[in-house]
A and B are shown apart, each in its own frame.
Chain A
């Protein structure tokens, strides 16, 4: 059974660094073709793809945010991390991680999401 679960700070102040963790089970990111992405959704708005990391450790970023994003994975290939530097109120959103079984595959499993509020 594939599951993903996001965790994060809940709330943080503007200009700080947001650190998110995606913990998953039922698959390994070391399996050829596997990709885990981060996607976010401000309340009442659409979805925005942020970043991805694949089984080979290759990383992909949304160019609109690339300078502030860092995606990484742990050595056990069961967690993926996302850091967003210098957050502001526009980064307030629900953040999801999701799995793809190939670089051209759809997202077949999503986490439940974690709400992050940026506020002073």
Chain B
């Protein structure tokens, strides 16, 4: 199985800050990496696909990048509505595997 190591597990940041969350893949997954945001008691929301592409309707302050086997989600200028838990997902091969999640809170 492909392991997705996500860090940090939690972050407490100030409004307007820049936030970066990273997932490292244990094997080559190419750009088959997507990001999801989950609010309390809600299902995950699809945010980024192909490692770098924003889904329609996702604010432009969100971005995705890749450096080798490291994949990052960046939020420029954090807003209050960005709180929640963020997960990465590799969908290169079965079994599909998720990162452990990053809980993002406002300081």
Residues of A within 8 A of B (CB): 37, 46-49, 52, 60-64, 96, 100, 104-113
Contact = CB atoms under 8 A, between A and B. Distances in A.
B95 to A, nearest CB: 4
Given A52-B96, A62-B94, A112-B42, 6 more contacts: A47-B89, A48-B98, A49-B98, A60-B94, A100-B91, A110-B45
Given A46-B87, A96-B43, A100-B91, A107 B98 contact: no
User: Ordered nearest first, which 7 A-B pairs have the shortest CB separation?
Assistant: A106-B34, A110-B43, A49-B96, A47-B98, A62-B95, A106-B49, A46-B100
B39 to A, nearest CB: 12
Contacts, number: 57
A63 B91 CA distance: 16
A96 B92 CA distance: 20
Interface residues of B, number: 23
Interface string B74-102: 00000000000001010110111111110
A47 B87 contact: yes
A101 B68 CA distance: 26
Contacts of A106: 34, 46, 49, 89, 91
A104 B96 contact: no
B92 to A, nearest CB: 7
Interface of B: 1, 32, 34, 36, 42-46, 49, 55, 87, 89, 91-92, 94-101
B62 to A, nearest CB: 15
Given A106-B46, A110-B43, A112-B43, A46 B99 contact: yes
A68 B86 CA distance: 29
A58 to B, nearest CB: 11
A82 to B, nearest CB: 15
9 contacts: A49-B97, A60-B94, A62-B94, A100-B91, A104-B92, A105-B91, A107-B89, A110-B45, A110-B46
Given A46-B99, A49-B97, A108 B44 contact: no
Given A46-B87, A63-B95, A111 B34 contact: no
